[in-house]
Amino acid sequence: MSDLAYDSAVDLARKIRRREVSSREALEYFLARIARLDRTINSVVTIDADRARAEAIADDEALARGEVRGPLHGVPMTIKDSFQTAGMRTTSGAPELADFVPREDAWPVARLREAGAVIFGKTNLPIYAGDLQSYNEVFGTTNNPYDPTRTPGGSSGGSAAALACGFTPLELGSDIGGSIRLPAHMSGVVGHKPSYGIVPAHGQIPGPPGTLTLADLAVVGPLARTVEDLELALGLLAGPNRWEQPAWRLELPPPRRRTLAEYRIAAWLDDPRCRVEPEVGALLESAARALADAGARVDPQARPEFSLEKVADTFFALLQAALAGGTSRDRIEAYAASTGDAPLASTRRLVAMRHREWLSHNERRLQLRRSWEAFFQRWDVVLLPVMPCPAIPHDQTEPQAARLARVGGEQRPYWDLVTWMAPAGACYLPATVVPVGRLSNGLPVGIQVAGPYLHDRTTLDVAKHLLGRIGGCPRPAGF
């Protein structure tokens, strides 16, 4: 059997259908690889090998009868531990859920199973998916495959690390403040944040198991090592949710252009509100040049009719409101009384905002969305940084809002690191992240390809062209 570690999900599914490798053989390969190599990374934290073996054997027997369950028939894969998986422990990194075994799959998990995937394990994350690093009291800390002293990102950090290490060909992540995009950047893999509302997320934790509320800004999407895998997974995952499915259907528009040379691409690669490190900026500019050299029209001066500061302020306010659901009333009242301009005090006041304040921020969001509509009449996509720096060293001090992060030669507030999540995040836009190279210290750097609302296939198409010119995802030494 050939080395399967860095096969794409599409290629592995093809090998299984052609009987070049069995589902059981592929499963055993990944199980053995994780047992051998994951101890220093700690990305895959729950494994249900017996159940997965039974499913893989059943898939192989079905294939022998000429039956194919779907495009992922027999493909082993892991899932972020915030998604409920029937019969398999799901903790969301919380001690109170350390032994929780759901009775049913989250909706996106069910769709992957229906497509034939064999889900054999769960990947690590911060408690309740609430950080841009991945650690918790239940399973400990996940390390970056390129530098174990640094984080692979969060909250889908275990997902991205497992992909980078060749432990799984495909992953399911979630993104409210950058939890797909940040780990993809920090771990050197690809990820897609879908347009808000097109992938049903019922069955994700948080909120508590059984919650039906779909949080503002929050989306579910795939991570992988090829854009073709992202395209396949999005096609499987997208559709109406439980309330809409009796009448609604989803038909995403095709890519806006037929060839790369036809695309009109804006490049917003730096900004005074959140300066990127020079070496990071050089890789972003090189990626933009690669698209221009291939014939695309690329404009590094094109901007929407609003500032990064305005969209970031709106995003942070909406994000804190969306994350405030589990905060007690007593704590909310205490937070509302916070004074001063320090990041911790500002964050607490946002968590405690009144509904009338949220309505004001939401109206600003709608005005920003209208500005994007006008912008995307002239441009097909916009290139954006993911973070101003590469993966950061582990920092588990509390509270998070009081942390500092070193960017270049200066210390910045921790949550400044998610500033570039705002233009797409606040406005519900699709954004695809692909790696564009590695820094002199070996750490990978990604770029966002964001586009008009519901034009996910356009951002994926441009990202696929770009990744092909960059040379694909890097591989960490030793894996």
The angle, 0 to 180 degrees and rounded to 10, between the axes of the packed helices 355-378 and 308-322 is: 140
pLDDT at 355: 87
The residue type found at 303 is R
How many Å apart are CA 465 and CA 227, to the nearest integer?
9
Considering the entire predicted model, what is its pTM? 0.97
Choose the catalytic residue: 22, 134, 155, 156. 155
Antiparallel, parallel or unpaired: β 264-267 and 381-385: parallel
Q: Is residue 253 part of a domain?
A: no
Segments in the chain below pLDDT 70: 1-2
Q: Single out the residue of 203, 202, 197, 190 nearest to residue 233, CA to CA.
A: 190
48 lies in a domain?
A: yes
Query: Is residue 155 among the annotated active site residues?
Result: yes
| Domain-embedded: residue 263 | no
What the block records as the tokens of 339 is 């004074």
Give the span between the Cα atoms of 398 and 148, in whole angstroms. Answer: 21
DSSP 415: G
Q: Which of 15, 80, 122, 193 is catalytic?
A: 80
Catalytic residue selected from 8, 22, 134, 179:
179
Sheet holding 118-123, edge to edge: 44-47, 118-123, 76-80
Residue 22 lies in a domain: yes
Q: What is the CATH number of the domain that holds 140?
A: 3.90.1300.10
Residue 179 among the catalytic residues? yes
Residue pLDDT, tens place only, 391-405: 999 999 999 999 999
Give the span between the Cα atoms of 224 and 170, in whole angstroms.
5
Contact (Cβ atoms closer than 8 angstroms) between residue 405 and residue 417: yes
Q: For residue 14, give the 3-state DSSP assignment.
A: helix
Which residues are CB-contacts of 423 (< 8 A; sequence separation ≥ 6)? 268, 304, 308, 311, 382, 384, 429, 450
The confidence score (pLDDT) of residue 2 equals: 61
Of residues 420, 468, 475, the one with CA closest to residue 442: 475
Q: Domain total for the chain?
A: 1
Amino acid making up residue 350: L
- Residue 17, domain member (yes or no): yes
Answer yes or no: is 217 within a domain: yes
Which region, left, alpha or beta, applies to residue 408 given φ > 0 means left and ψ of -120 to 50 means alpha? left
| CB crowding 194-233: b at 16 or more within 10 Å, else e | bbbbbbbbbbbbbeebeeeebbbbbbbbbbbbbbbbbbbb
Calculate the alpha carbon distances from 20 to 2, 60, 74, 113, 167 in Å: 9, 12, 12, 22, 20
**Angle of the 343-351 helix axis to the 308-322 helix axis, nearest 10:** 60
Please confirm, yes or no, whether 80 is among the known catalytic residues: yes
Residue 209 lies in a domain: yes
Residue 166 lies in a domain: yes
Domain that holds residue 151: 9-237
CA distances from 14 to 65, 230, 380 (A): 17, 16, 33
Beta strands in 61-211 (DSSP E): 76-80, 118-123, 135-136, 140-141, 171-175, 190-193
